[in-house]
Structures are given as C-alpha cells and as structure tokens.
Chains A and B, each alone.
Chain A
Amino acid sequence: MAKITASVYTSHVPAIGAAMDLGKTQEDYWKPVFAGYEYSKQWLKENKPDVIFLVFNDHATAFSLDMIPTFAIGTADSYEPADEGWGPRPVPVVKGHSALASHIAHSVIQQDFDLTIVNKMAVDHGLTVPLSLMCGPRDPQTGQWPCPVIPFAVNVVQYPIPSGKRCFDLGQAIRKAVESYDEDLNVHIWGTGGMSHQLQGPRAGLINREWDNAFLDQLITDPVAAANIPHIEYVREAGSEGIELVMWLIARGAMSDINEGKQTGAAPQLKHRFYHVPASNTAVGHAILENT
C-alpha cells in the first residue's frame, strides 16, 4: 500500500524563487536562507519519495475571483509554471500523479471533505518555490523534478478561510486515503506558506519571531493544541498573511501519530528545523518530520 513517510514544512516566499532564478543565492542577503536548506536537499535525495502531496495556496493566479475553492486537489498529468506578472519562473513543468490524486479525491470526499477537483491549473510560486528550495535549481527544459507532485490548493486569500482544526482533520483523511491505495508508494506531504508576514497596510512588514518559534514547537510536539489556534490569533500575532500557516496543519495531521484527532501514536522524528528573518517581507520557517 501507499504510505506517508515524512512531512516537510516551508515558507514559499516568491522572492526566494526570484533569487534562485536570478543567480543571487550567494549574495549576503540570501546566503543564510539557502544555507538553511542544504541539509534538506541532501535529505530529499537520500529519502526520495515516489510522490509529493504538496499543500499550497494560489495567489490570485489560477483562481481569480471567478471562483474560490476552499480546498482544491489537482488530478491532472501536468501543471505549467504560471506567469504571475513577471513572466513564468524558469523551472520545469510539474508532473502530476493523476491516478493517486483521483484516488485521494474519491476517498477524501467520501470522508465528508468536499474537495474541488481541478484538471487544469497553472501553478504559482506557492508550489514551485518549495520545490526549488528542496530540490535545488533545475533547468526548465532539460531538468525535471524528482517525482510527480499532487498540488493541493487551499483558499487563504478570501476570508473566511478554513480553520486550523479543519485543516488538521483533513490531513488525517488524506492519510487514510493514501493508505487505501494499493500500489506501494512512498509519499511525502508538504505544508507550505508562512511564517509571520503581513503584505498590506501600515502594519506591513510585521514579523513575530517569538510567536513563530512557539508555533513551530507546538506543531512538532503538541499538534492538537496547534490545530486549535483560532484564526484571529494568526492574524493578530503573525500578520494578515501569516494565516497561511493553517496549511502546515494539513501536513501535520497526516502524520502517523495522529489518530481520530488525538496524538496517540509514536511522535515523529524531527530531522531538521530552521528559522530566518527576513526573506523580503517574510519570516522563513522550515521543518522536516519523519514517521517513526
């Protein structure tokens, strides 16, 4: 059967992608950011998944105000990197895994999560920056990502967005769905976005290092408590865009220590943890957990 073996958490700041695309990774400003992912690139090589289930949010790219799905799963064979206004990022096309994605959609909807199914979607920095950070640079024509990716988009742009608790419960449903797939596949689940940042208004530039690190602690060791953090706390403490962190709870909820909303199994092993301020307007947070 297919199995989720690890989860990865990372910010997906667009400027990080731009720094890679423009060859700025060795500049003093960016060096510490990329240093924080050196271990991770090696780890991903040594623990290569068959499929990455990548939770991210679209930033008014594939989804305008025409339609705003709360949870959308990509079931296509491939996804083009989007032109977000600066031209598409020079990275490879993202190959999907339509068979597993369709299976997950079927199972998760039967578990009462009403997903939107997407067969055509350009993917923006929310999805490609985590891949770039974890895999390193890839030539857009001759290169490829290490494995197929299932994009899972969460609405965190127009409020109300799903609660942390809902995301955490959804993660558990995704794990059940993966484990009911017959083929032996090693699946990683990634939760992306955050950490503290605010991109608007006189409060733009907000960073809350103390809150971010407390969130990381809680996410790792007491995820049920993290899942119960109300929206207003994210917005007040981590900025209007810090709310993206609810997406990390989908990945955390999919780990094997979580059963029926409680942490009952063996705690996952923390392989790596990193935090840095700033990348552009944002605090960069990152962690890797392996099921034991």
Chain B
Amino acid sequence: MALDKPYLDIPGTIIFDAEQSRKGYWLNQFCMSLMRAENRTRFKADEKAYLDEWPMTDEQKRAVLARDLNWCMRTGGNIYFLAKIGATDGKSFQQMAGSMTGMSEEAYRTMMINGGRSIAGNRRIGEDGDAQRPATDSTPTA
C-alpha cells in the first residue's frame, strides 16, 4: 500500500522522508565527514578522489562537484547535510539557500530583507507563484 505523502503537491520543495534518506544515505554520510577539519582539507585537495572513497552514485558525485544543491537534493541529499559542503566552501546558509532559487545572491538577500518570498501562489503546484519553476539549474548529463 502506498504511504501517505500529502506534501508532494508543494512546489519547489523536496521533503526529506525515509525514501529520500535511503537514496541519499552515502551522499549525506559523505557530507557528515566534512565536519572534521582534516577531511575538509583532503576533500579540497582532490575532490574527485575524496568522493571516490564513498559508495555514492556517479550522479551524486557529479551533483556535488557541480555544487548544484537542487540536484544533490533530488538524489537524496538533505540540506542540513549538504550545508557541510557549503561550510567547507566558506558559504553562508543564505548563500546556499539562495543558490537553489535561480536568483542572484544580491537579489535573494534583498528579497529576504523585504520580507521574504511570498506564500501567494506558492502553496500548490500549478498556482502562479514565483517558486513554481523546475528544481534545477544544471542539466544533468550522462
């Protein structure tokens, strides 16, 4: 029987549920490893080699190398785990969140100062809000 997932009709949003967590297990555990300074150093020195130490999918590795957080999320990443990559890169949480919106850093910051993204039109897929675009900037290629 299908599980109850009432959140699938929310635009521009991936809910990190048990299914996503299963898909993203190694991606997220790789991210956790970046909480140790020596691992951050090794990752920065040779990102590809470091990623190859983890049983992640090729797509997950490409998504990390591209720093495309929407793509990472689609492959099972969770934002609190992915934030460790941003921290390694010296990015703030606002820069990371903004990078998923297709907006420039400045435009995103200004939107927040002006009260944030409006809920109007962004409650359900198919409405006319500004969060209705597809959740990726990179084109995943094989």
Contact B123 A60 (CB under 8 A): no
Partner of B13, one of A65, A207, A208, A235: A235
Could you say which residues of chain B place their CB within 8 Å of the CB of A199? 79, 93, 96-97
Listed stretches A34-42, A81-89, A97-105; interface member: A81-89
List of B residues within 8 angstroms of A264 by Cβ: none
| Shortest distance from the beta carbon of B4 to any chain A beta carbon, whole Å | 9
A: number of interface residues (CB 8 Å): 44
State whether the Cβ of B10 lies closer than 8 Å to any Cβ in chain A: yes
Interface members, chain B 16-59 (any A CB < 8 Å): 16-18, 21, 25, 28-29, 31-32, 34-35, 37, 40
Q: How far does the Cβ of B47 sit from chain A's closest Cβ, in whole Å?
A: 16
* Interface contact A205-B18, CB-CB below 8 Å: no
Within 8 Å CB of B111, what residues of A?
205
Hey, which chain A residues are within 8 Å of B14, CB to CB? 200-201
B132 pairs with A202, CB closer than 8 A: yes
A64 contacts B32, C-beta separation under 8 Å: yes
Tell yes or no: A236 within 8 A of B by CB: yes
Q: Is A78 an interface residue (CB 8 A)?
A: no
Please, which residue of chain B has its CB at the minimum distance from the CB of A29?
Answer: B113
Q: In whole angstroms, how far apart are the Cα atoms of A198 and B32 in the complex? A: 21
* Bound Cα distance from A60 to B137, whole angstroms: 25
From known contacts A202-B101, A206-B122, A280-B92, infer whether A157 and B16 are also in contact, taking CB-CB under 8 Å: yes
Task: Kindly provide the distance from the CB of B36 to the nearest chain A CB, expressed in whole angstroms.
Answer: 8
Residues of B participating in the A interface, judged by any CB pair closer than 8 Å: 6-7, 10-18, 21, 25, 28-29, 31-32, 34-35, 37, 40, 69-70, 73, 78-81, 83-84, 86-88, 92-94, 96-98, 100-102, 108, 111-113, 115-117, 119, 122-124, 131-135
